[in-house]
Chain A
Amino acid sequence: AQSVTQLDSQVPVFEEAPVELRCNYSSSVSVYLFWYVQYPNQGLQLLLKYLSGSTLVKGINGFEAEFNKSQTSFHLRKPSVHISDTAEYFCALQNDQAGTALIFGKGTTLSVSS
Chain B
Amino acid sequence: DAGVTQSPTHLIKTRGQHVTLRCSPISGHKSVSWYQQVLGQGPQFIFQYYEKEERGRGNFPDRFSARQFPNYSSELNVNALLLGDSALYLCASSRQGYEQYFGPGTRLTVT
Contact = CB atoms under 8 A, between A and B. Distances in A.
Interface of A: 4, 32, 34, 36, 42-46, 49, 51, 90, 92, 94, 98-107
Contact of B99 (A46, A105, A106): A46
B102 interface: yes
Contacts of A106: 40-42
User: 3 closest pairs, A vs B, by CB?
Assistant: A99-B97, A104-B42, A101-B45
17 contacts: A4-B42, A34-B99, A43-B105, A44-B102, A45-B102, A46-B100, A49-B99, A92-B42, A94-B98, A98-B96, A98-B97, A99-B55, A99-B98, A100-B48, A102-B35, A105-B42, A107-B41
Interface residues of B, number: 27
Contact of A32 (B33, B43, B98, B102): B98
B101 A46 contact: yes
The interface residues of chain A, by DSSP majority, are classed as: strand
Contacts, number: 66
B56 to A, nearest CB: 6
Interface string B12-32: 000000000000000000010
A51 B35 CA distance: 22
Contacts of B101: 46
A22 to B, nearest CB: 15
Given A100-B48, A102-B33, A105-B42, 13 more contacts: A4-B42, A36-B102, A43-B103, A44-B43, A44-B90, A46-B99, A46-B101, A46-B102, A51-B99, A90-B42, A98-B97, A101-B45, A106-B42
Nearest to B103: A43
Contact of A107 (B42, B45, B58, B102): B42
A21 B105 CA distance: 25
